Structure 1
Amino acid sequence: MDKIIECVPNFSEGKDKQTIEAIADAIAATPGCRLLDVDSGKSTNRTVYTFVADSDCVVEGALAAARVAREKIDMRRHHGEHPRMGALDVCPFIPVAGVTMDECVEISKRFGKRLADEFGVPVYLYEASATLQYRRKLPQIRKGQYEIIPKRIVQEKWKPDFGPARFVPEWGATVTGARFFFIAYNVNLLGTPNQAHRIALNLREAGRGPEQPGRLKEVKGMGWYVDDYNLAQVTVNLSNYLVTPPHILFEAVKEEAARLNVAVAGSEIVGVVPLRAILQAAEYYIEKEGLFILDEDQKVRLAVERLGLNSVAPFDPKTKIIEYIVATAPNEPLAGMSVRAFIEEVAGRSIAPGGGSVSAVIAALGAGLDAMVGKLTLGVRRFDAVDADMRALIPPLHEAAHALIPLIDADTDAFADYVAALGLPEHTDEENRFKKAQLQQGLKKAIEVPLSIMTLGDKVWDAMMGVTQYGNIASRSDLEVGARALEVGIWGAYRTVVNNMGEINDPEYRKKIMEKADAIRVRAVENCQKILDILEKRPV
């Protein structure tokens, strides 16, 4: 799933098990949708569903759930402790990965219009999707709840964004929009609920009132005591983790707790969390403590340990981090092969994989060899003097080696698009024009992938030069092979660009691409020779 959007529809039903399960089944049965959580409350008479999907499927999942609610929920008989105004009370769309807030705004509008058109119900937009500032926040729209709708909806200022400006008794009204991901986060204290609440008041954005705002933006919170855990908690909702992420809240609680002589005993994330929030915490502690960690799984482990996320319940990244929950194996049939199988595939009776894919492999090996030498130098006592240098030089080499791997398959896929265009019909003028356009598009893709190989390789010459100067000279041959491999990988990708450029009929495109490719190719020759010269002069 390249684009991950979270949808959290809240339905005004928390008692009828059959209805609750029917809505869950409708979401789960929608192609492309992954139901993550169903949270029902009898006293609130409300159920919150959490599911993820891509931009094409998420609206279908929300509509499927709404269809069940339209049939089974009647707001005329609804009572509960939680504020509400509709059968489907609120339906936010939240960007998680590979998608922007603006895209989610458009998705929410598409959903709102379809919901209104299909069911004939009023729909309001809120948060990032709001059209009017005075009804941007959910409490503003929901003030007076379901019971006030008949009086408000006929007022011009409360005309819905979609659907009829009239009361639909069995449904009420629905609010939808795009918002940031809320992280429900609790920090544990070996103290009293009063102490926890004092800390929460000092930190939450609202503070103790307009005259005493709190320290942290986009934080709502309070303090309480959890009998099951036998400890107090500062319990918060982080409304925008890009403004205040969990680790900043955690460190702020530690500061406030120290002033009260109260011990902090880890924390917990309620529900699921985006990977980005966890990696932000890891990068914070890496910088704070002067650590050197490159692997993602180790970064996740560091964040879990520093935040004490295992303190009251196990934190399993596979079931708590959204991207890991929905992860599928990458579609990389070539990169996933054994070395033997890849070589045999290249040597087979087929035009693909060809020079572009092989060039990506060679360039990746070149960057990887120098990353290896840097890692073998780092931490060795006799190279302590260059420890800081290695910490700066290794990451770009490590990252380039990994970034080049997907391009092995991307180059073959790009060529396949061009071959597919060759088979298009050309019996009419319109078919002929379409085929020519598709061929040009396929050629440009077959040019831009090897150009990406060249660009990635070009970025690591400085790091490779540094490892050559300061790295363990016992690995001299590895450094030589690495430099040559990177140069050959860039040269091979360059030849692929040149070969595919022959049939491009856009002179401005040709000029722009070839100027960039020629410059990278020249730098590759020059930098490779510089590295070999440095190694020639370094004493063994």
Structure 2
Amino acid sequence: MLIWSWAGQYCRPSSTTGHQMGPLAAGRRLVACLLNISEARNRDAVEKVARAAARKRHGGWREGTSVLNIFSDRDYNRSVITISASVESVGEAVLSACEEACRLVDVRNHIGVHPCLGAVDLIPLYPLGEDVGLEECGIEARVLAARLTELVPGTAAFYFGSADMPLHRGLAQRRKEIGWFRKTTDLSCTQPDVGGRPQSRYGLTGVGASPYVMNCNVTITTEDLSIGRKVASGLRESTPGGLPGVQVLALPHKGAVEIACNVESVQGAPPAEHWPSFSVGGSTYYHIPASLISTRVAELAGQHGVDMEGALLVGFTPQECRLLAEHAISQGIGEYWREQHGARM
């Protein structure tokens, strides 16, 4: 049986909510940061990191910024905090959240099935519209990485995507190069792109920019990780017959196996009418619908006598994220995630 669940799915505000799309939403050069921190079991710590993004250092709301969603997974011991602001101001919000995460999270104590190397594990910036380009987001990501390593001595970062100049290597490639998938704990020989030798309590952080990446997790009814890996291989973009833009891991999760997919946006015209598309910097991008991922998982799992149990879209599609960011910021809702009830522990 297919069970779809959304963690923070956007619903267009109606006139009865008291939140109207206002003129302040127009003209904002919005970006989103899906900040990944290696903590999900301490709810108070995760919320403090989110509040640090939404509030100024000395009190009061950070104008033009909203934390749209928090998604936490206890088995993974990982939280994704969706922060939105203009490209000019997103750095301050994300930097404050990262400083708080470095204060509260010690990656040496991390216990969870999801790979990670840093207390702040990933800082990706995604442009949310035509008026912000990837190059600009890449420059902002590099500035953010430099400031983090200056403000928190012992932190270090590697670049990916448009921040990785001039190579523009993707996140999956960079993670392979530094041993992220092996959950390497000895970083003494690691050469970060910015910062000195990483201290063990902070670890190593990925900082970059790319077209929007969704997270879609599908559960199959088995504890056999070898089956999960076969299903994952059949989905992976790099495999013949794989799905465009899909990077995937098979992980043990709540007594079953979860097929955890990063769904990257692909440049070009969508191959089918029902595939969503959007524009960034004059270029068209599309992403595979999450429903097609779940269908393929069900087919592949069925070949091994296993059923699909359910699917979870973590956060938002790029189109939903932009609409929600415009709405929340125009209404001055700094902690929109509280209205979403999106913190899952």
Cα gap change, 1:139 to 1:33, in 2 (>3 Å)? farther
Of residues 223, 243, 253 in structure 2, which corresponds to 1:216?
243
2:22 equivalent in structure 1: none
* Cα drift, residue 64 of structure 1: 0.7
2:215 equivalent in structure 1: 184
Distance 1:252 1:147 in 2: 36
1:58-103 Cα shifts (integer Å, max 9, x gaps)? 1111111112123222334333332222221211111221322111
TM-score by length of 2: 0.62
What is the aligned-residue RMSD (CA, Å)?
4.3
| 1:64 equivalent in alignment to 2:96 | yes
SS at match of 1:97: coil
1:314-354 Cα shifts (integer Å, max 9, x gaps)? xxxxxxx12221234999xxxxxxxxxxxxxxxxxxxxxxx
Distance 2:108 2:250 in 1: 36
SS at match of 2:67: strand
Cα gap change, 1:73 to 1:162, in 2 (>3 Å)? same
Asked whether the 8 Å contact 2:138–2:161 carries over to 1, the reply is no
1:416 equivalent in structure 2: none
Distance 2:106 2:260 in 1: 34
| 1:138 equivalent in alignment to 2:175 | yes
2:136 equivalent in structure 1: 103
1:134-175 Cα shifts (integer Å, max 9, x gaps)? 98522322445462112x13xxxx2x2222x32423322222
2:46 equivalent in structure 1: 20
Distance 2:87 2:212 in 1: 16
1:360-417 Cα shifts (integer Å, max 9, x gaps)? xxxxxxxxxxxxxxxxxxxxxxxxxxxxxxxxxxxxxxxxxxxxxxxxxxxxxxxxxx
| 1:239 equivalent in alignment to 2:282 | no
Q: State the identity as a percent.
A: 26
Q: If you compute each CA radius of gyration, which structure gives the higher value, 1 or 2?
A: 1
Query: Which consecutive residues of structure 1, in runs of 5 or more, have no partner in the other structure?
Result: 208-212, 276-320, 332-540
1:388 equivalent in structure 2: none
1:356 equivalent in structure 2: none
Greater helix fraction, Structure 1 or Structure 2: 1
Q: Which has the higher contact order (CA 8 A, sep 6+)?
A: 2
Distance 1:122 1:174 in 2: 6
| 1:273 equivalent in alignment to 2:272 | no
Q: Number of residue pairs matched?
A: 267
1:487-524 Cα shifts (integer Å, max 9, x gaps)? xxxxxxxxxxxxxxxxxxxxxxxxxxxxxxxxxxxxxx
Cα gap change, 1:328 to 1:16, in 2 (>3 Å)? closer
Of residues 148, 163, 166 in structure 2, which corresponds to 1:129?
163
| 1:147 equivalent in alignment to 2:185 | yes
Distance 2:43 2:174 in 1: 31
* Cα drift, residue 204 of structure 1: 3.4
What code does the residue aligned with 1:57 have? S
1:414-433 Cα shifts (integer Å, max 9, x gaps)? xxxxxxxxxxxxxxxxxxxx
1:324 equivalent in structure 2: 323
Cα gap change, 1:142 to 1:327, in 2 (>3 Å)? same
* Cα drift, residue 7 of structure 1: 0.4
What code does the residue aligned with 1:237 have? N
Task: Report 1:256-335 matches (<5 A).
Answer: 269-275=313-319, 321-328=320-327
Distance 1:274 1:25 in 2: 23
